[in-house]
Structure 1
Amino acid sequence: MIYIESFIDLLPRHKYDTDRVEMIKKMDRDKILPLLPGLLEWIQDINWPVAPSVLKILLTFPEEIVPHVQDVFSSNDDNWKWFIMHFLVIELPVESKVQFKEYLTRVSETPTQNELYEELDEIAKEILETL
């Protein structure tokens, strides 16, 4: 019988778990794909020690990360959206960024109170200018 590790077992266990992130970096791309949604959670705060390394991994999957980012954009976590927009989306190639155009346009033109508070309208405008 072959033991297959759960995807959750491969993800960082805490914000200082840079060893696990280094291990993920060495994995084959196809093995990292199922980890993308879990990895995205580790950039909820770019100040966490694991966040910059996780961000580098995520940026190597510009197309594959799009649906997972769209899930975050559908959530109510405007603070997480701020980190995603400032550190991930703005760095993606145009082909990936353009897939967020509808959301970015809505946020830039008719932001909610919380989006205004988090200044999501400003970063949305900045990203739209790169399209």
Structure 2
Amino acid sequence: MIENIKDLIPKNKGDLSTAQKLKNYSHEDLKEIVPDLLEWLQDLNWPVAKPVSEYLESINDKITTELLSILKNNEDEVWKYWIITVFGPITQSPIIKSEIIRIAASPTKNEMIQEVDEVAKGIMNSRNWK
């Protein structure tokens, strides 16, 4: 077991060695750093985003509260875009589903500018959500 759980938060966008270690831990082990890990999904073009997103996808059913706080936040629409891109296809959460539908059906002005509504509509269509 790692001595300091914060050592599992990647230090920069190229810190792949730290990100790769995440898969060795359970949600229970890492739950206190989940918000920090989610920050690495603010841009899926960062090298570290792929291994971090793979870990978070594996525990997506346990991080609904953290995901919802990002989707309801009106400060970072690009982050919302990536969160929907990663978790929209796999979520089983009715609360996350409901927020994705809200974004698709009645997006804010900024959600439209950043095309968050478009990615939400794509998820709705691919999952046959009404």
TM-score, length of structure 1 as denominator length:
0.84
| 1:84 positional shift | 0.9
CA distance in 1, matches of 2:123, 2:16: 29
- State the Cα RMSD in Å: 1.9
Match of residue 71 from structure 1: 69
TM-score, length of structure 2 as denominator length:
0.84
CA distance in 2, matches of 1:121, 1:109: 8
| 1:29 positional shift | 4.0
Alignment of 1:39-58 (within 5 A): 39-58=37-56
CA distance in 2, matches of 1:104, 1:17: 31
Is contact 1:59-1:91 (8 Å) kept?
no
Match of residue 34 from structure 2: 36
Match of residue 125 from structure 1: 121
CA distance in 2, matches of 1:25, 1:101: 26
| 1:74 positional shift | 2.0
1:111 partner SS: coil
Match of residue 83 from structure 2: 84
CA distance in 1, matches of 2:120, 2:114: 11
Is contact 2:89-2:123 (8 Å) kept?
no
Aligned: 1:59 with 2:69: no
1:16 partner SS: coil
Query: What is the letter of the counterpart of residue 41 of structure 1?
Result: E
Identity, % of aligned pairs? Answer: 31
| 1:110 positional shift | 1.8
Unaligned runs of 5+ in 1: none
Larger CA Rg, structure 1 vs 2:
1
1:91 partner SS: coil
CA distance in 2, matches of 1:74, 1:111: 11
Q: Which runs of 4+ in 1 moved over 6 A?
A: none
CA distance in 2, matches of 1:33, 1:121: 29
